Amino acid sequence: MAPNFKVYTFEEVSKHNDKNDCWIIVHGKVYDITSFLDDHPGGVEPLLMATEKDASNDFEDIGHSDSAIEDMQNYYVGDIDTNTITAKVENSASPTIQGVVSSTSNESSGSVLKILQYLLPLLILGFAYAMQYYGKSSKQSES
């Protein structure tokens, strides 16, 4: 009989997040790696950290060998409904977005400061001339 692979929601997969029951998501596929945890050359910890999120980037960042990628297929249990992936993925994206937003607002306040840096001496100079002119004309009207 053909194996019964399923499409899981992110919520379902996220429930399997400890040493006794550990599932990960890599490139849209779901792997039950519970039995592999103790044999993983990279240790248990990185695998547990890779639960409850899309671990594709974590997996790629290590530069796993072809044999590691082949080995993964032994733990494949189904696919993930990608529309349901939220939580940690969004959380991990938001600091970047916040970073961009805050850095652009920093940039814009920086450029305002630069303009002020040039404008302020000009304003002071203009004010000094205006005072001089006003002083002269008021002296003329006195005499």
* Distant-in-sequence, close-in-space partners of 117: CB < 8 Å, separation ≥ 6: none
Using rule CB under 6 A, residue 19 touches ligand HEM: no
Beta-carbon count within 10 A of 36 CB? 16
22, 48 contact by CB (below 8 A): yes
Beta-carbon count within 10 A of 113 CB? 9
Q: Toward ligand HEM, which CB reaches closer, 59 or 111?
A: 59
What distance in Å separates the CA atoms of residue 39 and residue 42, rounded to the nearest whole number?
9
- Contact characters 76-105, ligand HEM, x per CB under 6 A: ------------------------------
> Smallest gap, in angstroms, from Cβ of residue 56 to ligand HEM?
9
Using rule CB under 6 A, residue 30 touches ligand HEM: no
| Cα separation values, 9 from 14, 27, 29, 112, 142, Å | 9, 14, 11, 48, 89
> Smallest gap, in angstroms, from Cβ of residue 63 to ligand HEM?
7
> Smallest gap, in angstroms, from Cβ of residue 12 to ligand HEM?
18
49, 74 contact by CB (below 8 A): no
Using rule CB under 6 A, residue 41 touches ligand HEM: yes
Q: Of residues 12, 71, 79, 81, which one binds ligand HEM by CB under 6 A? A: 71
In terms of Cα–Cα distance, which of 18, 82, 14 is closest to 52? 14
Using rule CB under 6 A, residue 59 touches ligand HEM: yes
Contact positions vs ligand HEM (CB under 6 A): 24, 31, 33, 40-42, 46-47, 50, 55, 58-59, 62, 64-65, 67-68, 71-72, 75
